């Protein structure tokens, strides 16, 4: 691989809702994804549920840089959505797993 490849910042994290609140949490995160459509450097913000535990909601993010990711907290409305999500979480969010994204199909 050439050194000239421009990589991106990836993050895959899990949020766990309180019992029975998985769909509500997913809905809040889908609203956050919508707000991030115009965020600087945001390529992907994909919301999933896993197939074992209805309370687990996963977010797969790709950004131009970690800095762009960190700045996303400043996007209008995002803090309000975090404020809606926090009370229905089962404990603190875990730190997600970070990746160096090389490229692929479907990545804008």
Site residues, a copy of itself (CB under 8 A):
1, 10, 12, 23, 26-27, 30, 33-34, 36-37, 42-51, 58-60, 62, 97-108
- Least Å distance, CB 91 to a copy of itself, is 21
Taking the CA atoms of the chain, what radius of gyration do you get in angstroms?
Answer: 14
Would you mind telling me the total number of residues written for the chain in this entry? Answer: 108
What is the distance between the terminal CA atoms of the chain, rounded to a whole angstrom? 21
If the CB atoms of residues 26 and 81 are measured against a copy of itself, the closer one turns out to be: 26
Q: What does the alpha-carbon distance between residue 89 and residue 49 come to, in Å, rounded to a whole number?
A: 15
Residue among 4, 16, 3 at smallest CA distance from 92: 16
If the CB atoms of residues 23 and 94 are measured against a copy of itself, the closer one turns out to be: 23
- Least Å distance, CB 36 to a copy of itself, is 5
If the CB atoms of residues 86 and 97 are measured against a copy of itself, the closer one turns out to be: 97
């Amino acid at each position: 691989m050439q050194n000239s490849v421009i990589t991106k910042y990836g993050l895959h994290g899990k949020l766990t809702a309180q019992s029975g609140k998985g769909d509500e949490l997913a809905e809040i995160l889908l609203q956050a994804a919508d707000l991030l459509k115009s965020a600087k450097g945001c390529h992907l913000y994909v919301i999933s549920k896993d197939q074992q535990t209805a309370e687990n909601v996963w977010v797969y993010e790709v950004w131009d840089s970690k800095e762009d990711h960190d700045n996303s907290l400043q996007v209008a409305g995002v803090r309000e959505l975090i404020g809606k999500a926090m009370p229905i979480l089962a404990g603190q969010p875990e730190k997600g797993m970070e990746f160096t994204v090389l490229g692929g199909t479907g990545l804008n």
